[in-house]
Amino acid sequence: MSPFSSESAWLCLAATAVLGGMLLCKSRSPGQLRSQVVCLAGLWGGACLLSLSLLCSVFLLSVSCFILYMSSSDQDLLPVDQKAVLVTGSDSGFGHALAKHLDKLGFTVFAGVLDKEGPGAEELRKNCSERLSVLQMDITKPEQIQDAHSKVTEKIQDKGLWAVVNNAGIFHFPVDGELIPMTSYRKCMAVNFFGAVEVTKAFLPLLRKSKGRLVNICSMGGLVPLQMMAAYSSTKAALTMFSTISRLELAKWGVKVVTIHPGGFQTNITGSRDNWDKLEKEILDHFSKEIQENYGQDYVRTQKSTLQIMKELSNPDITPVLRDIQHAISARNPSSCYFPGRMTYLWVCFAAYSPTSLLDYIMKKYFHSKVMPKALKTAS
């Protein structure tokens, strides 16, 4: 008998909805909201599929709501009190918008940029308050990280640094992992992973002093196997695991570690068309005879359209990302992970819990290149 065939079952569903609504109303974070909705819906669906008794269903869902309610019961935002925050990669994209957003909220912001004389840095100096400092900070250069550390320490003195947001990152030309040059793998790893680790190690003593926050901007691509993104996704997966281990290790010091896994948002991480041409040429220059025979140069050239498609499908409004980062920095008890973006959390759950064969089928069907390599095209 279906659990929906009686009035009592509908009363059970209504009671669960009320409990869930009370929980969700307390949530300040959109990412947290999605997570809890999915959890409650999954529990209810599981109870229905298992044909549990009404009493068991009520008990299971009520206890689940109570646990989630208690885990999110301390979501008040801490006062700004001119807390100091370091944001890397503030030239553009998430980092640039976040630096301006935090400055408006009253934080003391240290905006690390790749080019201190560039247009992004100039805009920050022009439009932000005196609380914001622009720091030359190429995170692949240890001497610039140490110089930034000295300037931050000099300004905050004994107050400590409240948060570090490791946002700086680079992308690569979207193509099969076999075709991505090792130079691209190394560049992505140098910025997206080693750079974030080195910044973390340099500024952790200041975070320990304030018992503050380490916020690492990861990616949905570090959790979901997206084709054509082998180098980028691998570095984000590495950063995710580093963050997870750091969260466990730094808890004893009172430092909270948070990961942000955005979905598709429009930033300039993919670079300009000139940069696309440069990356394409780098790949073609590394073609071996065997690769030429199997893939062909046309296969690579057609992948450039993927960058344009990614841009068109991405959300131009990055507000959800900024809200989640703000919550990670300011909440008394932040979540360990945030998933801003359309369907991001659902995709992550699907990748984590679906059978491998089903995941592979979906990813091959909907997230693959429409162009066939030269050898396969000839064979067909």
How, if at all, do strands 133-136 and 256-260 pair?
Answer: unpaired
Query: What six digits make up the tokens of 244?
Result: 């997870």
- Cβ atoms of 290 and 368 closer than 8 Å: no
Query: What six digits make up the tokens of 260?
Result: 């942000």
Neighbouring residues of 170: CB distance < 8 A, sequence distance ≥ 6: 187, 188, 191, 192, 269
Query: What six digits make up the tokens of 277?
Result: 């041409």
Q: Identify the CA nearest to 250 among candidates 219, 199, 191, 205.
A: 205
Backbone angles phi, psi at 160, to 5 degrees: 85, 160
CA dist list (Å): 232 to 60, 111, 161, 176, 337: 40, 24, 29, 12, 19
The alpha carbon of 164 is separated from its chain's Cα centroid by a whole number of angstroms, namely 15
Determine which one of 69, 185, 232, 353 is catalytic: 232
CB atoms closer than 10 angstroms to residue 339: 27
Tell me the C-alpha distance between 360 and 355, whole Å: 9
How, if at all, do strands 337-338 and 256-260 pair?
Answer: parallel
Q: Identify the CA nearest to 223 among candidates 241, 247, 246, 249.
A: 241
Is residue 299 part of the annotated active site? The answer reads: no
How, if at all, do strands 133-136 and 108-113 pair?
Answer: parallel
CB atoms closer than 10 angstroms to residue 37: 15
Query: What six digits make up the tokens of 76?
Result: 């008040």
Strand 337-338: give its sheet, edge to edge.
Answer: 133-136, 108-113, 84-87, 163-166, 213-217, 256-260, 337-338
Tokens 């409240």 appear where?
162
Positions marked active-site: 232
